[in-house]
Amino acid sequence: MIRSRALAAALPGFALVLSVTVLADAADKKVIRLWQTETEPQTLAVLNQTAAEYEKTHPDVSIKIEGLAWGDLEKKLTAALAAGAPPDATHGQPITCVSFAAKGLLRPVDDLADSIPKDNLVDAFRNLCRWDGRTYGVGHSPASSVFVYRKDLLEQKGLKVPRTWGELVQVADALREVKDGQVVRWGLTMTGQPLFINIAVGELLKTNGGRLFDAEGRPTLTERPVIELLDFYKQLNRVLPPGWTGHGYLDTFANLANGKAAMLYQAYGRGVGYIEKYAPKEIADPDHFAVADKMVGPSGKTPAAQLDCEPWMVFKDAKGGNEAVDFLRFFFRDENYIPYLHSVPIHLLPIKKSTYRNPRYADNATIRKWRSWVDMQGKYFRNDWIKPVLVTDWDDMTKPYLLEVMGSGILVDMVLDSVKGMPSAEAAARAQKRVEELLASSGYLKK
Amino acid sequence: MLWILPALVLIVGLILYPVAYAIWLSFFDKHSFFPAERWVGLGNYARIAGDAEFWDSLWKGVVYAAATTGLQLVLGVAAALVLHQAFRGRTAIRALVLFPYMIPTIVAVIVWRWLLNETYGVVDDLLLRFRLVREPIVWLGVDHMMTSLIAVSVWQFTPFVVVSVLARLQTIPLELYEAARVDGASAWARFRHITLPQLRAVLFVVVLLRSIWMFTKFDTVWLWGEGAGAGREIRTLPIYAYMRTFTYYQAGFGAALAVIMFLMLMAATLVYFRLFWGEEEAA
């Protein structure tokens, strides 16, 4: 009894000593905060494992990695910057990186880029984020948006894979299935999430030979390719599920995997995980869920897709900037990088040529099974058919205001105005005026 | 005097300073995170006056606040009257009614978005099964985004009205009803001439608070529309002020919008007070 009382009395003391020790230990360490957009549990586990490995050889550093939803990243970064508490390093869209670099918020990361080194970077991603001759961002892993279709359903109906915008609408119409007066399968699914409408506008405009800005940086929304794009959206609106403007990115994967839709225009390699998890086992393979070139618009010549490759960027005022770069060098070592890529194998592709050649990278069952999906993305990389969000030409990466244009939602409003029935020319003219006003009021454009 | 100092510091630090800073900021062309600012005087206000987006979001905000406050009031009073009656299981039902008000907004929004999804949601499925509709209703699409938001907001916030009104109902002397019954007053007459006048003060506070809170409501509206292009159908003034500040990066413009919202609410509150006290005095 006496012993247990003594123990009970001693316990709070032990707890206090333990807490003080832990806190003192934590206080001695320099905490490096990294924000990144890969939120799948297995990826976070790999990143945390890499951080733990790094900390073993750097006992004075504590790496804190936080996963943030892709669609929220820009807003959260802005709020953190406004509060004066950004992380040390973060992912961001390439246009975010350029915007931040232009505003003097970033630390150059030439040291990180040189450590890869440059000729080891996949050619298309060497200049993802450069400003005034310096490198401010190094992509963690590139991916291309892909067009996915149910090969078996097209074959059953004797349909060919669409090659043009017009054919896409026709095929989507033909693939729609109705039972007892209800649509049980839609021909096509697309997300109405603002970020993805921004992505689609840039991507579709590129496939239609169009652009968002002229060489002087003035918006060009009243040009013919944009009007054609808005007309195309009107047609898409007829064949998409009626609630598509409210459908999230993951809803569209669910629609495809569950058989609620036969084609997905804005798919990514990540979708393979959903197909394997939710589609019937006997069809969860690339023979049923096939990929094809994206469709070309009436004024365009080549397909185009969106480059999904957030650069790692380091804030200029970060107290742990050098340590963050050192950790990222460690992250890009194949022994750490390959497990990271394998955590979402068809979506996280290597940015280093040497990793592509590494037999350990290719030794992955999912990559072997879904090889056609990887090859399709490789085709886009090789042909330079991919561009970051809202970029229709690499020269657009010198425009530091694309982030503001994306965040304003003006292009999303333009698409929705058109979809709701406003004449395309009027919707485009309204958006043109709003972008001009935005750029003028932000000091980017003379009135 | 010293004993009121902590309260004074809190009021100045947490209320007066932010309001004063927002007013000060509204006179600048200020980037949201870049240390660049330029004095523009009333320039932001002049721009707002000519900004179609502002007028559109103001209208949406008024529709949202008026519809949700009105519905909460009607349903809340009705529910409180029912819950004031004696019946078996009343205590359990009273606790259940509070449930929507207790769950976190993010949970409520996620659950309702899931229930109302027209592709796999339970609500449309039931409507179709019982042949109440021929086609699924696209609750989260451009046409019904505002309606579904209003419905969910009413579901979420009506318990506040129920609790406030129920608390007051329990303090009304029963003798008043008994006397009215003896005089032959009908149920409607008892409600109109006894219950409503007794509820007057509490309804005054409830309408005031709920309309202010609904007009400035951010979390439910933002989460309901976030992640959907159709979200612009519910782009109310607080959402627009947030967007100007954090996605257009125009902190000065955003602050001016916030100041306008503040002034509108002040003016509406003053008018409301004047009307109420005017009626009180007349009575």
The more confident residue out of A421 and A124 is A421
pLDDT band per the 50, 70, 90 thresholds, residue A15: low
The residues that bridge with A307 in the sheet, in sequence order, are A144
| B152 closest CA partner among B72, B260, B247, B36 | B72
User: What pLDDT band is residue A128 in, cutting at 50, 70 and 90?
Assistant: confident
pTM score of the predicted model = 0.85
Strand partners, A65: A34
DSSP for A28-94? Answer: HSEEEEEEES---HHHHHHHHHHHHHHHHH-TTEEEEEEE--GGGHHHHHHHHHHTT---SEEE--H
Residues A352-362: pLDDT tens digits? 999 989 999 99
Closest-CA residue in chain A for B31? A442
Question: Where is average pLDDT lowest: A100-104, A339-343, B216-220?
Answer: A100-104
**Are B141 and A193 within 8 A, CB to CB?**
no
Please give the DSSP secondary-structure letter assigned to residue B209: H
Please check whether residue B93 lies inside any domain of the structure: yes
Cβ separation A248–B227 shorter than 8 A: yes
A389/A409 Cα distance (integer angstroms): 13
A408/B247 CB distance under 8 A:
yes
Residue A444 pLDDT > 80 = yes
- Residues of B whose CB is below 8 A from A262: none
More confident: A195 or A226: A226
Tracing tokens 């309204």 back to the chain, one arrives at A430
Band the pLDDT of A14: cuts 50, 70, 90. Answer: low
Contacts of A243 in chain B (CB under 8 A): 117-119, 136, 138-141
Q: What is the pLDDT of residue A16?
A: 55
Q: Which of B135, B139, B247 sits opposite A75 (nearest CB)?
A: B247
Q: Do A245 and B141 touch (CB under 8 A)?
A: yes
Task: Tell me the pLDDT band of A311, cut-offs 50, 70 and 90.
Answer: very high
Rg of chain A over Cα atoms, rounded to whole angstroms, equals: 24
Nearest by CB to B228, which of A82, A103, A245? A245
Answer yes or no: do B33 and A243 touch at CB < 8 A. Answer: no
Tell whether the model's pLDDT for residue A1 goes beyond 50: no
| CATH, domain A144-306+386-441, list 3.30.200.20, 3.30.365.10, 3.40.190.10, 1.10.10.10 | 3.40.190.10
Is pLDDT above 70 for A26? Answer: no
Residue B31: beta bridge partners?
A: B250
| Integer Cα distance of B174 and B2 in angstroms | 46
Domain, as residue range, for B60: 51-234
Residue B102 lies in a domain: yes
Is B66 part of a structural domain of the chain? yes
The answer to whether the Cβ–Cβ distance between B248 and A404 falls below 8 Å is yes
In this structure, what CATH number is given to the domain that contains residue B169? 1.10.3720.10
Q: How many CB pairs under 8 A join A and B?
A: 110
Q: How far is A420 from chain B (nearest CA, A)?
A: 8
Distances (CA, A) of B123 to A191, A396, B143, B271: 21, 46, 17, 41
| 3-state SS, residue B228 | coil
What's the average model confidence in pLDDT over A190-195?
91
Query: What does the pLDDT look like over A46-99, one tens digit per residue?
Result: 999 999 999 999 999 999 999 888 777 877 887 888 788 899 999 998 999 999
CA distance A447 to A409: 21
Which one is the CATH code of A28-142+309-369: 1.10.10.60, 2.40.240.10, 3.30.70.260, 3.40.190.10? 3.40.190.10
**Element spanning A102, H or E:** helix A94-102
Say yes or no for a CB contact (<8 Å) between B32 and A244: no
What are the extents of the domains in chain A?
28-142+309-369, 144-306+386-441
| Residue recorded with tokens 């970029």 | A391
Per-residue pLDDT of chain B (283 residues; tens, 9 = 90+): 788 889 999 988 888 999 999 999 999 998 887 777 899 999 999 999 999 999 999 999 999 999 999 999 999 999 999 999 989 999 999 999 999 999 999 999 999 998 998 888 899 999 999 989 988 899 988 889 999 999 999 999 999 999 999 999 999 999 999 999 999 999 899 999 999 999 999 999 999 999 999 999 999 999 998 767 677 899 999 999 999 998 888 999 999 999 999 999 999 999 988 887 777 666 6
Q: How many CA atoms lie within 13 A of B115 on its CB side?
A: 14
Residue A5 pLDDT > 70: no
Of all residues in chain A, what percent carry a pLDDT higher than 70? 94
User: What is the number of structural domains in chain B?
Assistant: 1
Would you place residue A2 in the very low, low, confident or very high pLDDT band (cuts 50, 70, 90)? very low
Which chain B residue's Cα is nearest to A246? B228
The H or E element containing residue B39 is: strand B37-39
User: Chain B: nearest CA to A184, how far in angstroms?
Assistant: 9
Residue A414 reports pLDDT greater than 80: yes
The yes-or-no answer to whether A28-142+309-369 and A144-306+386-441 have a common fold is yes
pLDDT exceeds 60 at position A27: no
Contact between B229 and A79 using a beta-carbon 8 Å cutoff: no
Min distance A10 CA to chain B CA atoms (Å): 38
Asked if residue B137 is part of any domain, the answer here is yes
Mean pLDDT confidence for A113-123: 83
For A246, which of B120, B134, B141 is closest by C-beta distance? B141
pLDDT tens by residue, A226-265: 999 999 999 999 999 988 998 888 889 989 999 999 999 9
Residue A199 has pLDDT above 60, yes or no: yes
* CA pair distance A72, B7, nearest whole angstrom: 37
B249 CB within 8 Å of a chain A CB: yes
**Cα atoms in the 13 Å half-sphere on the side-chain side of A324:** 29
Higher pLDDT, B33 or A410: A410
- Specify the higher pLDDT residue, A268 or B281: A268
Confidence at residue A152, expressed as pLDDT on a 0 to 100 scale: 97
Question: Does any CB of chain A come closer than 8 Å to the CB of residue B138?
Answer: yes
For a pLDDT cut of 90, what percent of chain A falls above it? 73
Q: What is the pLDDT of residue A25?
A: 53
Predicted confidence (pLDDT) per residue in A132-189, tens digit: 999 999 999 999 999 999 999 999 999 999 999 999 999 999 999 999 888 899 999 9
